[in-house]
Structure 1
Amino acid sequence: MPASTLRSMAIPGELDDGAAHVMFIPSAGMAHLLPFFRFITALSSHSVHCSVMTVLPTVSAAEADHFAALFAAFPRIQRVDFNLLPLDASAFPGADPFFLRWEALRRSAHLFDQLIAGATPRVSAVVTDVALASHVIPVAKQLQLPCHVLFIASATMLSLLAYFPIHLDKKQDDDAGAAGIGDVDIPGVRRIQQSSLPQALHDLNHLFTKQFIDNGRALSQADGILVNTFDALEPVALAALRDGKVVPGFPPVYAIGLLKSSPSSSCTDGAGSEKQAAAASSSPSPIFAWLGEQPAKSVVYVAFGSRTAVSHEQLHEMAAGLEASGCRFLWVLKTTVVDREDTAEVRDVLGDQFLGRVKDRGLVTKGWVEQEAVLRHAAVGLFLSHSGWNSVTEAAACGVPLLAWPRFGDQRLNAIALESGGAGVWMERWSWDGEDGVVSGREIGEKVKAAMADAAVRARAARASQEAAKAVAEGGTSYRSMQEFIGKLKAW
């Protein structure tokens, strides 16, 4: 079968034939897909045709489950299957499997025009994942279609992406710039220390870095950038982007967050081995039964996302810290990057003795967890998190303070944003993937106990939640941004 085969699964006649038709082109990884699914379902409720390019096969089982759940729950959304051209992974030894998927998609992007041009009804606009921006925007322009970028991380991270190529150009012109990347002073936003940059950016030959630079340069050619944040959470970064301080002439920036989950997208960033919601909800959940037995605000929820695997040595220190804190805890344990490879049992990782000692106040699982439902539960009082942006936004919406322990990628920038926005606190000295050293269980236990007892942290998180609710309510900043975007869609 050709790489660009279209398989339409639309239900005809559901919408007015004159409605706008938006083709969504997501990439890979649950942190990228979840905001896409949430935005697609939100947009489809506004009399807009939505179609989704579905790349086969998916990298993870979670991705396959979520795609299936999306199309089952929203049959009006059109599915467009895309079979990738082969990529020789041996040319990128040791590369992250999701970075490889992004590269394969970029190299297949010239075939997207066949799917877009052949879609029915006629496509009127394209929304692409930021990881594919440099290759999808030219395709859309060739077809004379407006192209927006859905940015799945913070506005602070967006400012770095947009400015990083300019930073490199300036360093190239500066003789003193030979000594590494250095700190990045983003105009109108803040100075980002080199140590807080995504690890891959320290190597200009890294696959991710090349993708990052290409996409950063391409943003100025987009018709707009959609960001899952809200003005009260990141006022400085959003103002600097919109005012052209970061990059002169930057496209319109729509802060449309916080995007709400749908029945098909409620399996979130914190899950270890995720399954679709419909399957999970068909039987009673021992997790929620356990939470229901705990006092209000007494449980520390611990999850480090769908992409971050912590070393076994650090996992054991985390276990010691949770035990030493004296707090109740729900821990979603993850040991691999790709869920299809995650076969170890909890007792294999943490040992029967630990599980036996904490059985009356701790629950550890490697199964699917509906993270937003956990964060909304009255028993949860703190979220020990890697500060992936989906986790940050979900916790902010629910008013649960984060104790941020960034590990990888954009997570330190997210931690900067969440702390300044009042959504939690960031442990700046705690270890970063690739750095030497392990955070001791004693220190983890002390910080968890202190954060659980900190009334000021809880109050700031509650205010952030109130601001998030205002943003999406009728007349709020995110509500108006969404309406402005929909208005432009219908005018094209």
Structure 2
Amino acid sequence: MADTNELIMPSSSHIALLPSSGMGHLTPFLRLAHLLASCNVKVTFITPEPTVSLAESQILSHFFSAFPQICQEKLHLLPLDNFSASSEDDPFYHHIEVIRQSSRLLSSLLCSVSPPLSALVTDMSLTAAVVPITEALKIPNFIFFTSSAKMLTLFVSFHTLAGSKANANSYEMDYIKIPTLEPIPRSWIPPSLLQDTNNLLKTYIIENGKSMTKSDGILVNTLESIEQSSLLALNGGKVIEGLPLVTAIGLLPPLYFEDHQPLAWLDDQPAGSVVYVSFGSRTAITREQLRELGNGLVGSGCGFVWVVKDKKVDREDGKELVNVIGDELMERVKEKGMVVKHWVNQESILKHPAVGGFLSHCGWNSVTEAMWHGVHVLAWPQHGDQKINADLVERIGLGTWEKSWSWGGGEIVMREQIAEKIKEVMGNKLLRSQAMRIREEARNGIELGRGSKKGLTELIKMLKKERS
């Protein structure tokens, strides 16, 4: 990354980081930890144990081996009390609840580290549980929001939109209106948030959104240039009153220990000819849709690397690949592509010159990694914040979003549609050039003192202010 000499902090600065459940939350925390450590900050990384996935355990092991200067403290999770899981709740939500209920152990942990902490950076999903603890200890608490600034506008204001009579009309119609920003269609919002009754996701967003006003600042892994309107609205007091400063600290660069040899098959493929297909670390797709997708990839005529996920949690994903996609499709995919059924290093694949497109669910990490490597995206959102992210992908010219394709296990998208859309996107030279423009903007931003370098400077200023 760029020279960080001007960002050096006093050696007494000590920041702890507390991530939440899942690779989507862990990965940006690891990158931020390394960025801070490179600026002479003593970093303590708190790891909730056990993790919910094998991928998290493995990357943590690699991380602490690669960066021994970063201290690890383990938050040993307690047995879960008074938790009633419903059919919609997945293991990751369950694990977040375990971390939240175990957060009462944080007080002694935070007081025991040396030297005393300058600040704690807390995952967005743990805000309501952790902020009261750091308030009592008089430790500044910065929230790391691991999605886009646009999603943050909904996250922090949702409790007012859902509960205010003044917003009842927009809440019940086809859109949700956030002050000074374009309305968000209801179809982009997870259905569970719009139900009359409470559920785990809705409760989390309401509680954590309210509590963010009590934090000392909010950090977002994004570029000011692509989310200027959302950032201005958040920091102008237009979205919600009392919100602390929201700082864009992206794009966070990948870490060198993540950059290992990708799949050797890619080395034999022509430049820009391969589409990479992945729906993230926690999206399980139905067997029927997987087989339509596989046949669509074959029918597109493009080379592909396809990451198949049959279960949300990799510890439970024991089925052989052939049992998931079938013998016939298994033979067909060998002709044009490569299929894997395990966690892969996405950064290494996206940076490979053979990769020319990305069929993605538009999880925020995947979007930022596509920006960093200049790979254009065919968006197929599946749940959560992903439709809001897909809209941003299309707006900035990073890719295209086929809005007629269902999400969350709805109507099956047929192989012919998939094949046609992949051919169209892979042959689109304009999308490719726009993706490369965004790549240069992201990387030049670091070199020129914008992007993550500017955001880190702002964070360090805030920390110095808190210490004075």
Report the counterpart of residue 284 of structure 2 in structure 1. 309
Of the three residues 373, 379, 388, the one matched with 2:354 is 379
Distance in 1, Cα, partners of 2:168 & 2:427: 51
Residue of structure 1 equivalent to 2:51:
58
The answer to whether residue 415 in structure 2 is matched with residue 441 in structure 1 is yes
Q: Secondary structure at the match of 2:43?
A: strand
The change in CA–CA distance for 1:358 and 1:254 in structure 2 (over 3 A counts) is same
Of 310, 319, 327 in structure 2, the residue corresponding to residue 335 of structure 1 is: 310
SS of the residue corresponding to residue 324 of structure 1 reads: helix
* Residue among 184, 190, 198 paired with 2:176: 184
Q: How does 1:33-48 map to 2 (within 5 A)?
A: 33-48=26-41
Cα pair 2:141 2:216 within 8 Å, conserved: yes
Residue in 2 that maps onto 1:238:
231
SS in 1 for 2:132: helix
What's the offset of the Cα at 1:449?
0.3
Letter paired with 2:340? T
SS in 1 for 2:192: helix
What does residue range 14-93 of structure 1 map to in structure 2 within 5 Å? Answer: 18-88=11-81, 91-93=84-86
The AA in structure 2 aligned to 1:25 is L
| TM-score, L = length of structure 1 | 0.89
Displacement after TM superposition at 1:174 (Å) = 6.5
Give the number of equivalent residue pairs. 457
Aligned twin of 2:134? 140
Q: Deviation of residue 248 (structure 1)?
A: 2.7
User: What is the deviation of 1:372?
Assistant: 1.0
Q: 1:174 to 1:20 in 2, by over 3 A?
A: closer
CA distance in 1, matches of 2:65, 2:401: 39
- Is 1:103 the counterpart of 2:97? The answer is yes
Deviations 1:311-346, CA, capped at 9 Å, x for gaps: 111111101111111111110111110000111222
In the TM superposition, what is the alpha-carbon distance from 1:490 to its structure 2 partner?
Answer: 4.0
Tell me how far 1:112 sits from its aligned partner: 1.2
Give 3-state SS (helix, strand or coil) of 1:323's partner.
helix
Percent identity (aligned): 42
SS of 1:447's equivalent in the other structure is helix
Distance of aligned partners of 1:343 and 1:157 in 2 relative to their CA distance in 1, 3 Å threshold: same
**1:252 maps onto 2:245 in alignment:** yes
Structure 1 residues 368 and 106: CA distance shift in structure 2, 3 A: closer
Amino acid in structure 2 at the alignment position of 1:489: L
Which of 150, 157, 167 is equivalent to 1:163?
157
Partner of 2:124: 130
Matched, 1:194 2:168: no
User: Equivalent residue of 2:238, what SS?
Assistant: coil
Q: Which runs of 5+ in 1 are unaligned?
A: 1-14, 267-276
Ranges of 4+ aligned residues in structure 1 off by more than 6 Å: none
CA displacement 1:335-358 (0-9 Å, x = unmatched): 110000111222112223223233
Alignment partner of 2:334: what SS?
coil
Task: Please say which of residues 352-361 and 456-465 is displaced more in the overlay.
Answer: 352-361
Distance change >3 Å, CA 174–CA 149, structure 1 → 2: closer
| Contact 1:226/1:255, CA 8 A, preserved across alignment | yes
Alpha-carbon deviation of 1:70? 1.7
- CA displacement at 1:304 relative to structure 2: 0.6
- Shift in alpha-carbon separation, 1:444–1:119, aligned structure 2, 3 A: same
Choose the corresponding residue for 1:115, options 105, 109, 120: 109
Structure 1 position 479 matched with structure 2 position 453? yes
**1:355, 1:176 → 2: CA distance?**
51
* Residues 49-68 of structure 1: CA deviation (Å, up to 9, x unaligned): 11111111111111111221
Letter in 2 for 1:367: H
Give, in whole Å, the separation in 1 of the partners of 2:446 and 2:212: 26
The whole-number CA distance in structure 2 between the counterparts of 1:350 and 1:288 is 21
Query: Cα offset for 1:168?
Result: 1.5
Alpha-carbon distance in 1 for matches of 2:432, 2:11: 48
Amino acid at match of 1:470: N
Q: 1:308/1:174 Cα in 2 relative to 1: closer, same or farther (>3 Å)?
A: closer
1:262 CA displacement: 1.5
2:5 aligned partner: none
Instruction: Map 1:356-375 to 2 at 5 A.
Output: 356-375=331-350
Matched with 2:3 is none
* 1:351 alignment partner in structure 2: 326
Match of 1:388 among 346, 351, 363: 363
Q: Is the 8 A contact 1:309 1:335 kept in 2?
A: yes
3-state SS in 1 of match to 2:239:
coil
Match of 1:293 among 257, 261, 268: 268
Once the 2 structures are TM-superposed, how far is the Cα of residue 110 of structure 1 from its aligned partner?
2.6
Note the C-alpha offset of 1:79.
1.2
1:425-440 equivalences under 5 Å are 425-435=400-410, 437-440=411-414
- 1:151 matched residue in structure 2: 145
For residue 4 of structure 2, what is the aligned residue in structure 1?
A: none
Residue in structure 1 matched with residue 375 of structure 2 by the alignment: 400
More deviation, 462-471/407-416: 462-471
| Cα drift, residue 87 of structure 1 | 0.8
Determine if contact 2:148/2:220 at 8 Å carries over to the other structure. Answer: yes
Which range is displaced more, 81-90 or 24-33?
81-90
Q: Over aligned residue pairs, what C-alpha RMSD do you find? A: 2.0
Equivalent-residue separation in structure 2 for 1:135 and 1:89 (angstroms): 16
